[in-house]
Chains A and B, each alone.
Chain A
Amino acid sequence: MSVLIYANTANGKIHKSAFEAVAYGSKIAADLGTNATAIVIGACSDAESLGEFGATKILHANDSKFNDFDPSIYTQVVVKGAEAEGADVIIFSHDFSGKSIAPRVAAKLDAGLVSGAVDYPSTANGFTVKKAVFSGKAFANITINTDKKVISLLPNSVDKSAKGGSASVETFSPEVGAATVKVKEVIKESADLPLTEAEKVVSAGRGLKGPENWGMIEDLAKELGAATACSRPVADMDWRPHHEHVGQTGVAIRPNLYIAVGISGAIQHLAGVNQSKTIVVINNDPEAPFFKSANYGIVGDAFEVIPKLVEAAKAFNASNH
């Protein structure tokens, strides 16, 4: 018995969400009295760093045939890794890669899957994992009834600090079938911080009146080290790129800090952001429904308030906090 964690990579390095997944899987392994093995697929220059997050062994499938992300091939590698390690619990990050592979692995192993877990499993009564449901409006505790268990962890859910430690890296060369997905091109949307990974987000809506007014939002985001986002109408009017649209039909995020400027807080928008740890709402309408979900609120004109915040953030940064 052991715990196997799939650690995804980006641009040849371990991806940020993988460190959290490994920390999560290692804690589960410790609770179950077993070891945590991480599995890395494709080129990766820093696989050994996963040892600092609790993995005691790392399987690295580093053959160049694994460099393209093909969910069916990656599924075979993870399943063979689980067999080799005798893993009963398999962990993924519930991000772009985990959403592609975790369901395939669960189906292959005939294992119950909880996707988007937000907490450690409870083993007091079966093996039960908490996840957000109804677009963040509730949680469900789901019991996995199969011997093999698959969990994908919602990023930014648990302690992801490095604990120190080291791991042995072993080359892993499983036999797999032919590729089914051919990657032709990767289009980078921007070099900036991807929204889904940002711990701080500054978002703005129709209250800003036009795309030419986004400079101050970008300034505030820059001072806070935050990503920028927008509401659906703003994306639909092409004021901002579609990948910035957060909400029910856009991307769902759960940063530590979400600042909403000129967004009224329609239920569909809240569904994408209501799991943010701290929410700040800035709106000139004191009746805006978003204030009901806010930790901090400023009733005022964004064109006066935001420049003041930019100045305050600059002063804050300059004072070496």
Chain B
Amino acid sequence: MKILVCISKAPDTTAKIAFTDNNTAFDTNGVQFIVNPYDEWYALVRGLELKEQNGGSVTVVNVGLAENEPIIRKALAIGADEAVRINVNPTDALQTAKEIVAFAKAEGFDMVLLGKETIDYNGSQLGGMIAELMDMPYVSLASKLEMEGTTATIHRDIQGGTEVVEVTAPFVISAAKGMAEARIPNMRGIMAARTKPLKVVEGSGANASTTIANYELPPAKGECHYIDADNAAELIELLHNEAKVI
């Protein structure tokens, strides 16, 4: 079973969000970057579990510049067999998808796994785009994935419940909570990651379809209006008369 896991670089969940260059660029000053949690905790770890059960290999791919190599090494330390970095600084998901497909289409992967979204752009776009460009089935927001030969049984989150679906490999899946338990790399994994192959390939020249004009921070929240605990009932009136939400 040949598994491809797409990983993205994201700012740590506790990073301060600020912008520079007249609000046109994310201020990376002092920001710690991590593997996007949904890619790491759910997609990568489930890929590794499937490899451990069924044999095969796990390749991680990242579209980004050399500065992304520490997070790629982390994915190798967790247990991926090899990594590919496509040497492009992408502007949007469609460009990223095209670059991944340009690399992956001739590789014969049985499945492509990735997180349900990145925690920076929250797009939830890449998986569906890869699936369309590779003409594969796509199951989004999967919380469970079991393989039986080339048939996958997948639980996916839908409105107010779960849908159980069956697809045949090759396919693309975006992983949500429940898919796997996060793994912490051990010393052996970290040492092994230093010598695992990290191949750098040049991009195919795909263009982006969107550009970020600028960023805005949300308007500052007004002061919190405190209500005395003994007079809690006043809250209901305020929610009705002032906030107008009930």
A binds B: yes
Does A312 lie at the interface of the complex (its beta carbon under 8 Å from any beta carbon of B)? Answer: yes
A67-102 toward B: CB 8 Å interface, digit per residue (1/0)? 001111001000000000000000000111001111
A258-271 toward B: CB 8 Å interface, digit per residue (1/0)? 00000000011001
* Interface contact B240-A297, CB-CB below 8 Å: no
B111-137 CB contacts (< 8 Å) to partner A: 116, 119-133, 136-137
* Interface contact B243-A300, CB-CB below 8 Å: no
Which residues of the partner chain B approach A54 to less than 8 Å between Cβ atoms? none
From A75, A137, A277, A311, B233 is in contact (CB under 8 Å) with A311
Stretch at the interface among B49-57, B74-82, B154-162: B154-162
From A95, A224, A298, B232 is in contact (CB under 8 Å) with A298
- With both chains docked as a complex, state the minimum distance between the C-beta of A205 and any C-beta of chain B, in angstroms: 17
Question: Cα distance A128–B226 when bound, in Å?
Answer: 39
- With both chains docked as a complex, state the minimum distance between the C-beta of A314 and any C-beta of chain B, in angstroms: 10
* Interface contact B225-A96, CB-CB below 8 Å: no
Which residues of the partner chain B approach A101 to less than 8 Å between Cβ atoms? 128
Q: Which of B126, B127, B232, B233 has the most CB of A within 10 A?
A: B232
B13-24 toward A: CB 8 Å interface, digit per residue (1/0)? 110010100000
* Interface contact B213-A128, CB-CB below 8 Å: yes
Q: Which residues of A contact B (CB under 8 A)?
A: 10, 15, 69-72, 75, 94-96, 99-108, 110-116, 125-126, 128, 130-146, 180-190, 194, 196-197, 200, 224, 242-243, 245, 248-250, 252, 256-257, 267-268, 271, 274, 277-278, 280-281, 291-301, 304-305, 308-309, 311-313, 315-316, 321
* Interface contact A142-B213, CB-CB below 8 Å: yes
| A-B interface, 9 closest residue pairs, ranked by CB to CB distance from nearest | A300-B229, A103-B128, A112-B209, A312-B233, A194-B160, A180-B137, A107-B132, A107-B129, A104-B132
From A70, A107, A140, A143, B128 is in contact (CB under 8 Å) with A107
* Interface contact B159-A194, CB-CB below 8 Å: yes
A100-B240 contact, Cβ under 8 Å, with A75-B132, A139-B218: no
* Interface contact A115-B164, CB-CB below 8 Å: no
Which residues of the partner chain A approach B224 to less than 8 Å between Cβ atoms? 281, 291-292, 294-297
- The count of residues in chain B whose C-beta lies closer than 8 Å to any C-beta of chain A is 81
* Interface contact A292-B221, CB-CB below 8 Å: yes
Which residues of the partner chain B approach A99 to less than 8 Å between Cβ atoms? 116, 124, 128, 140-141
- With both chains docked as a complex, state the minimum distance between the C-beta of A165 and any C-beta of chain B, in angstroms: 27
- With both chains docked as a complex, state the minimum distance between the C-beta of A118 and any C-beta of chain B, in angstroms: 11
The prevalent SS among residues of B at the interface is mixed
Question: Cα distance A298–B240 when bound, in Å?
Answer: 17
A186-B213 contact, Cβ under 8 Å, with A135-B119, A267-B13, A268-B13: no
* Interface contact A188-B161, CB-CB below 8 Å: yes
* Interface contact A187-B164, CB-CB below 8 Å: yes
Q: List 21 A-B contacts (CB under 8 A).
A: A71-B128, A72-B131, A104-B132, A106-B129, A110-B94, A115-B125, A132-B122, A134-B122, A135-B122, A138-B19, A141-B215, A141-B216, A142-B210, A143-B212, A183-B164, A189-B162, A278-B243, A280-B239, A291-B224, A312-B235, A321-B246
Question: Cα distance A252–B132 when bound, in Å?
Answer: 26
B201-212 toward A: CB 8 Å interface, digit per residue (1/0)? 000000011111
* Interface contact A113-B210, CB-CB below 8 Å: yes
* Interface contact B212-A249, CB-CB below 8 Å: no
Across the interface, name the chain A residue whose C-beta is closest to B233: A312
* Interface contact B216-A138, CB-CB below 8 Å: yes
